[in-house]
Amino acid sequence: MLTLLSENQNVQHDNPEVRHSGASAIQVDNIHSQIEKTMNHSEVFSPVGLLRTLKLVNTINQLRIVQMRHFHFFDFHSTAKSWHFTKIPYMQVR
């Protein structure tokens, strides 16, 4: 992980729950509970259905839905394959 971060200097720490300034943990929990409440009353069979359901969460202050692209995702699996976890004794990790 350290090698990955040292090779990519543009990686910054980002808290995925709080995307705008001034949002507290209580506000994030409130939004999560609103989403869960709306999802309990609907069935989602496609991505379009999910978008429609998310737009119904709060009709006064609608959620801003952002589509993630391929460059938003990192390939940690290939990096983890290069590490030799089998050489670490179990008793030292525990």
Interval 5-55: pLDDT, tens = 566 666 555 445 445 556 688 888 888 999 999 999 888 898 888 888 988
Interval 70-89: pLDDT, tens = 888 888 888 888 887 777 77
Number of folded domains in the chain?
1
Any domain includes 8: no
Any domain includes 86: no
Residue 60 CA to residue 20 CA, distance in Å, equals: 18
Range of the domain at 41: 21-67
Degrees to nearest 5, angle at CA 28 with 23 and 30: 120
Taking the whole predicted model, whether its pTM rises above 0.85 is answered as: no
Any domain includes 63: yes
